[in-house]
Structure 1
């Protein structure tokens, strides 16, 4: 069960945004007009938020459509929503943004200076343009945006680095003997806040831009990263210097349960020894009482990879529990969990709605990761779910999540998704799957060859690069009644959907979902049905 806390954060809400007919019907890509950018809004998608109201953003019309209620791949592709010429972008960055003092330098948000209604409209139009000629114009549904598109990132990764000219920087010649040494409480070393940088990297560089506030990061998580910096300064714990390989604290990775409010802090260090670790935890907990677990991760390699292989729990259970779509998930430092859990629920709810499960269907969850959407399907109308992914650790987590939630009608296979689909299509068997995670595709799906009596639904959520031609060909041969394709990269999704259409399917619905407001990224769900020609 998810442990509840009084520090439960306020959850942003999501609603569909009403977009203009040009975007929703004709499918033509129409960039936001200059008149709209000057303040004269056409009828565009979006929702008025308190922050928009405070900044004088005109209120767009909202569509009152109830939103019907994944973790697997850390891949985020995106669209350049509201693309601007380079000189205009430079001018925009120079002008800055009232919501962020480092806008234009920090690489976190590229669209923070664009009214949210216009962001949504541009993303809607971009998706429409990609599917023009592939899907009927009326298949495009309004984009699902957020009502409060701020502080939605429930996972915050913050690097620590010495400021230029910091008083305790170690010379390169002294690096070997200083590597991974932490001063610890009472060591007498003196650092100030100004000596330690933490924040976001400048776009396209390794230059750290210090930030004390962020418009999209969870506010409790941000407080944690700043508190760690202050404790480091007070106790002389030097930040990692990537040029010399010296210093102790490399990163903080903070996860906040969007339902439970539990907070997991992972401190990545450049050495095993952590002097005064218990005192460090007490002080950090005193400064941020919401913290429920602290873990030390050791990474002594000179690499851009954040986490190392060795960990130890410093405080609490070493993990947090959170609820997503009514299911409970255990989240550790290495678990993949969507950074915007509010919109993840919106995404999954809509995908399950489009799957139209009646209780009779077998669902194949391809590229299933840790099994989140497959488990939701198992709870919401699937007769049985078979999840497949090539990452063995993700499959173990998926099976553990199923046991944790008492889901008995789901099984998971550690196998390449393309190989699984090809083997299954060649066998001609698609009914009565058995729950044996170690089995191959042919063993996993038992039944009479050629028996298509049990309805089959394919859920697919591939990485940013999309699926493979072989996978798509096998999917068409297997002939599921419906295919629900979730993608973080509508460019490759449109390419794959064209293959499916050529293989005998028809697009019935396209639903863009804004998972990352104020960025260029957009996710999309496409539902296809087998044509009866």
Structure 2
């Protein structure tokens, strides 16, 4: 599933690296050996997906979510996980019965620990109830003048939107979000109150702090904090960052993103680095990827690796194939394919910033058998098919390498132009990854009209406790 604004702690993997010191951590205090060990232990617990004792039901039963009904994001969070997986298996079997026989269906791949899996946490801020002013405020006689108002007029709401609304459910913890990221969100809210920073009022278009977006490296443990503001000028920014890093010393970098539009879109186009390098690094399938505030990166690290390894296994590369990575994003699966058996990879995506990231990721990993181009995937495939037809080629590239098509379209699925071009190119295999099985089934039905057969359907539970299912389909010429 793709998310706007940016395409992971490992659930219970003991290999997680914690306590990264990049970005001048030693100057922030609290760096005794004992403090570092404690922070490392806390980070490791968070990265393993362990929940606070307060969220466990009596007797060690299922973790309990106190706001499940109000929030609505996790439709099945209070159901046993195995029951969720069984229901998803049934749903996939019913959907794909239109295009595949029962022998093609494989059981869904679930998680060992389906909690705290979201490596990206996004929290809006909004005015809460009126707040009483303290009797003695900093900035009065004998005190220092603050760089901002001494306190907001109201409390600050932060958390998540109730399903289908822009009403904020004020939450401090979440069963599916990374625990370290939630700690950062709570710290940002607290510092806003301390510094007198007003939250954004969506109805009036006033206030300063709109969102905080926190991304946690799956294996690196690095943490990127993006503060989305309603203005470029950020008085007291250095002090704010200093306090935030003091409270959360595991933070690697802080970025200010400026969004002055009255819009529902979270991120703006302009930003500036307030602390650290402005990006984090993370590892996926043995490759290192650079993640910035705008990068697309899958939010469930554990299952993304499962998904990609399954896709590469189904592609069955022998070292001779040319893989077309359509809708490639930042090149994650294409680069994995290039390092796991494909002779050549060509990725295409219409988002220019994603292609820049893909090229940078290729250079960073020393992958020289992958190229990435900006363009509409349908138009790219059409042109490639026309060139192959003019040369009298089918199923191979200009160097007689067998073609394999990797495709991971958005929820709307692929276009007819794209699918017709795929039929004309006649690749030996198509590996179709989808975050929307309904549109995937529609596209597979189209391909079946032209002699392709669905050999394998592999569901992966990328988003436990929700209705969402990710599916991989292997399609071959009959």
Q: TM-score, normalised by structure 2?
A: 0.84
2:203 maps to which residue?
243
Pairwise CA distance, 1:134: 1.2
1:468 maps to which residue?
415
Q: What are the within-5 Å matches in structure 2 for residues 187-206 of structure 1?
A: 187=148, 189-191=150-152, 195-206=155-166
Cα distance change of structure 1 residues 196 and 53 upon mapping to structure 2, 3 Å threshold: closer
Residues 322-359 of structure 1 deviation map (CA, whole Å, 9 limit, x = unaligned): 11111111111111111111111111010001111110
**In structure 1, how many angstroms separate the alpha carbons of the residues matched to 2:18 and 2:232?**
32
1:221 maps to which residue?
181
Retained in 1: the 8 A contact 2:257–2:270?
yes
1:253 maps to which residue?
213
Pairwise CA distance, 1:189: 2.0
Q: Does 1:264 align with 2:229?
A: no
Retained in 2: the 8 A contact 1:12–1:149?
no
Query: 4+ residue runs of structure 1 moved beyond 3 angstroms?
Result: 7-13, 50-57, 164-168, 184-188, 447-453
Q: What are the within-5 Å matches in structure 2 for residues 113-128 of structure 1?
A: 113-128=78-93
Q: Does 1:527 align with 2:463?
A: no
Cα distance change of structure 1 residues 474 and 187 upon mapping to structure 2, 3 Å threshold: closer
Pairwise CA distance, 1:508: 1.2
**In structure 2, how many angstroms separate the alpha carbons of the residues matched to 1:451 and 1:357?**
15
Pairwise CA distance, 1:54: 5.6
**In structure 2, how many angstroms separate the alpha carbons of the residues matched to 1:154 and 1:335?**
13
**In structure 1, how many angstroms separate the alpha carbons of the residues matched to 2:147 and 2:402?**
67
Pairwise CA distance, 1:449: 4.4
Pairwise CA distance, 1:320: 0.6
Cα distance change of structure 1 residues 54 and 137 upon mapping to structure 2, 3 Å threshold: farther
Q: Does 1:379 align with 2:339?
A: yes
Retained in 2: the 8 A contact 1:162–1:241?
yes
**In structure 2, how many angstroms separate the alpha carbons of the residues matched to 1:256 and 1:53?**
30
Q: What are the within-5 Å matches in structure 2 for residues 354-369 of structure 1?
A: 354-369=314-329
Counterpart selection for 2:445 from 498, 516, 520: 498
**In structure 2, how many angstroms separate the alpha carbons of the residues matched to 1:449 and 1:292?**
51
Pairwise CA distance, 1:200: 0.8
**In structure 1, how many angstroms separate the alpha carbons of the residues matched to 2:469 and 2:371?**
30
**In structure 1, how many angstroms separate the alpha carbons of the residues matched to 2:58 and 2:66?**
20
Pairwise CA distance, 1:305: 1.1
Retained in 2: the 8 A contact 1:107–1:200?
no
Residues 60-97 of structure 1 deviation map (CA, whole Å, 9 limit, x = unaligned): xxxxxxxxxxxxxxxxxxxxxxxxxxxxxxxxxxxxxx
Pairwise CA distance, 1:107: 3.3
SS in 1 for 2:214: strand
**In structure 2, how many angstroms separate the alpha carbons of the residues matched to 1:451 and 1:495?**
23
**In structure 2, how many angstroms separate the alpha carbons of the residues matched to 1:417 and 1:337?**
19
1:456 maps to which residue?
403
2:261 maps to which residue?
301
Retained in 1: the 8 A contact 2:395–2:425?
no
Q: Does 1:148 align with 2:113?
A: yes
Q: TM-score, normalised by structure 1?
A: 0.75
Counterpart selection for 1:511 from 454, 458, 462: 458
Residues 93-132 of structure 1 deviation map (CA, whole Å, 9 limit, x = unaligned): xxxxx62111100132111121111111111111111110
Retained in 1: the 8 A contact 2:225–2:251?
yes
Q: Does 1:282 align with 2:247?
A: no
Tell me the C-alpha RMSD between the 2 structures: 2.3
Retained in 2: the 8 A contact 1:473–1:503?
no
Residues 182-202 of structure 1 deviation map (CA, whole Å, 9 limit, x = unaligned): xx945452349x711100111
Cα distance change of structure 1 residues 451 and 138 upon mapping to structure 2, 3 Å threshold: closer
SS in 2 for 1:153: coil
Cα distance change of structure 1 residues 167 and 243 upon mapping to structure 2, 3 Å threshold: farther
Residues 169-224 of structure 1 deviation map (CA, whole Å, 9 limit, x = unaligned): xxxxxxxxxxxxxxx945452349x7111001111222111001100110000000
**In structure 1, how many angstroms separate the alpha carbons of the residues matched to 2:87 and 2:44?**
30
SS in 2 for 1:311: strand
Residues 232-289 of structure 1 deviation map (CA, whole Å, 9 limit, x = unaligned): 1111111111122221111101000011000010111111221221111111111111
Q: Does 1:129 align with 2:90?
A: no
SS in 1 for 2:218: coil
Unaligned runs of 5+ in 1: 14-49, 58-97, 169-183, 430-441
Unaligned runs of 5+ in 2: 1-15, 20-39, 50-54, 134-144
